[in-house]
Amino acid sequence: MARMFGATSAFGAAGATTASNTKVGAQIDTDGGATSAVGAAGATTASNTKVGAQIDTGAGATSAGGAAGDTTASNTKVGAQIDTGGGATSAVGAAGATTASNTKVGAQRKLGVNPAGADTGVGSLGAAGGVRANTAVGVEADTGGGADLLFHVGDLSYATGHEAEWDRFMEQIEPLSARLPYLTAQGNHERDYPSSGSAIGVGDSGGECGVPTQSRFHMPTCERPNTQPCVSSPRPASHVELSIDAPGPVPASPADDGWYSLSQASCHFLVLNTEMPSSNGSRQFSFVEADLAAVDRRLTPWVVVLGHRQMYSGDAMTPQNGLADLEPLLFRYHVDLAVWGHMHYAQASCPLYHGRCVTHTDAAGYDAPIHLVVGNAGQPLDPLPVSLAPWSRWAESSWGFAHLRIANATHLDVDFWRDAPLDRDATLAHTLRLTRSFPRVET
């Protein structure tokens, strides 16, 4: 796959990295305009502009989401969404990072649908806490160095209160995060803690309560009450400055909610915070319903939902982790893929609803969401259950990553790759293909 990066930006823990008149960072290689970059806890700049978590490309400018720092690129509009045309890119993730790759953005226009031509390439690095060095190298090699987005959906560093682990983790991901937008969600090892507002409250974050994650990675969360999508807003919510010396409790903020959405090319992405309540009546449930209902399938025919704790995995026949109320929404609004982490293995389902495979399709070829577990890139692996659920179509407990490639408005592939030593290439373990008609047909 073609490399699509020029000069790269640093993924720093502090300080700014600048590049004047260059192609920067995780840039999308444009034919007619500017590029983008991603920062982490520091600013990455290129040629006189401001960019947030979105780019609204017109005559060739592009950009992508920042992480705990400002990302800039020339001639871009800022927002919470990437709204590109013709041949843009995007990403998907799981219990680790998800990278998007293998597309070139030319002189884009706002419409992001091209039923025949290449549209979006997305790679996914599933990391159930931390990232193995050879996994990061494998992802970079698989995407040809040309990834466009990366989602790391929970269990980032497994620091659980030990700050040195965050330093080590940030260094581990730098080969990827210096080149592409590094979008995150909060998992149990970032946010879970008793009496902290989290839904489960066991204590898995070691007392971090999301603060180190929210301080390092600024995502395009919407302003409170955060019950409606804000992908068309000029910019996402501002983030609360945290101070360990401030008296009283840390103020609640949109960053602590942690759920958000964005669109890029022909795909809409909705990131959940599975550590927060999502049952009917919760603010997160309201956001999910409003966001999915607002998707224009003429512009973004593909819809992918991501979250850390899984709805289905292993031998489970009912939704897990308090996510049951969300399942009807995924089905009603024709979500194509639901990507999860938490379990330290890889798995793919049939089109699945209420624990059963759906075999009938509508006129557009839609049946039900396919659930993917991609939690096998970092921490020690979990064994697979002795007997997998009847809905399971493939599963493997080995280190690796997944690569989601959106060819156009009608074809999508997910490749699961096995990890390999640093001096060898990753090997392909499994491929999933989805085919839909376009335009999508309302049922």
Residue 390 above 70 pLDDT?
Answer: yes
Q: How many whole angstroms separate alpha carbon 24 and alpha carbon 157?
A: 26
Question: What CA–CA distances, in Å, run from 303 to 138, 252, 256, 265?
Answer: 26, 29, 24, 11
Residue 256 above 80 pLDDT?
Answer: yes
Which pair of tokens denotes residue 322? Answer: 């308090």
**What are 21-47's pLDDT values in tens digits?**
322 233 333 333 333 333 333 333 333
Q: How many whole angstroms separate alpha carbon 432 and alpha carbon 412?
A: 8
Bridge partner list, 388:
none
For residue 222, give the 3-state DSSP assignment.
coil
**Contact of 46 with 22, CB cutoff 8 Å:** yes
What average pLDDT does range 9-27 have in this prediction?
Answer: 29
Give me the DSSP letters along 242-277. Answer: P-TTSSSSPPP-HHHH--EEEEETTEEEEE--TTS-
Q: How many whole angstroms separate alpha carbon 154 and alpha carbon 126?
A: 10
What average pLDDT does range 54-75 have in this prediction?
Answer: 33
The residue with greater pLDDT, 253 or 395, is: 395
Strands 400-406 and 392-396: unpaired
pLDDT for the residue 428: 93
Q: How many Cβ atoms from other residues are within 10 Å of residue 134's Cβ?
A: 18
**What are 275-325's pLDDT values in tens digits?**
999 999 999 999 999 999 999 999 999 999 999 999 999 999 999 999 999
Omega before 301 within 30 of 0, i.e. cis? no
Bridge partner list, 94:
96, 152
- Average per-residue pLDDT in the chain? 71
Q: How many whole angstroms separate alpha carbon 192 and alpha carbon 204?
A: 5
Q: How many whole angstroms separate alpha carbon 224 and alpha carbon 337?
A: 27
Q: How many whole angstroms separate alpha carbon 292 and alpha carbon 336?
A: 12
Q: How confident is the model at residue 153 (pLDDT cuts 50, 70, 90)?
A: confident
For residue 284, give the 3-state DSSP assignment.
helix
The residue with greater pLDDT, 199 or 61, is: 199
What is the share, in percent, of the chain residues with pLDDT greater than 90?
35
**Contact of 438 with 425, CB cutoff 8 Å:** no
H/E element holding 285?
A: helix 283-294
What average pLDDT does range 79-97 have in this prediction?
Answer: 32
Instruction: Say if pTM beats, i.e. exceeds, 0.75.
Output: no
pLDDT for the residue 403: 83
For residue 240, give the 3-state DSSP assignment.
coil
> Which of 63-77, 129-143, 379-393 is the least confident region?
63-77
Residue 398 above 60 pLDDT?
Answer: yes
Number of Cα atoms under 13 Å in the Cβ half of residue 340 = 26
pLDDT for the residue 314: 97
Output DSSP code: residue 352: E
pLDDT for the residue 46: 34
Question: What CA–CA distances, in Å, run from 329 to 102, 285, 286?
Answer: 31, 9, 11
Output DSSP code: residue 32: S
Question: What CA–CA distances, in Å, run from 18 to 24, 110, 296, 329?
Answer: 9, 29, 37, 43
CA nearest neighbour of 308 among 126, 153, 130: 153
Residue 193 above 60 pLDDT?
Answer: yes
**Contact of 305 with 333, CB cutoff 8 Å:** no
pLDDT for the residue 416: 92
Q: Where are the beta strands (DSSP E) in 79-118?
A: 97-101
Amino acid identity of residue 338, one-letter, is A
pLDDT for the residue 279: 96
Which pair of tokens denotes residue 34? Answer: 């500017």
CA nearest neighbour of 183 among 210, 156, 217: 217
Residue 63 above 90 pLDDT?
Answer: no
Query: What are the residue ranges of helices labelled H in 151-282?
Result: 163-177, 188-191, 211-216, 254-257
Amino acid identity of residue 270, one-letter, is L
Q: How many whole angstroms separate alpha carbon 179 and alpha carbon 7?
A: 9
Q: How confident is the model at residue 366 (pLDDT cuts 50, 70, 90)?
A: very high
Question: What CA–CA distances, in Å, run from 228 to 307, 322, 325, 395, 398?
Answer: 18, 21, 18, 36, 39
Residue 343 above 80 pLDDT?
Answer: yes
Q: What are phi and psi of 133, to 5 degrees?
A: -60, -40
> Which of 195-199, 357-361, 427-431 is the least confident region?
195-199
The CATH number of 17-241+249-435 is which of 3.40.50.2300, 3.40.50.10470, 3.30.70.580, 3.60.21.10?
3.60.21.10
pLDDT for the residue 124: 46
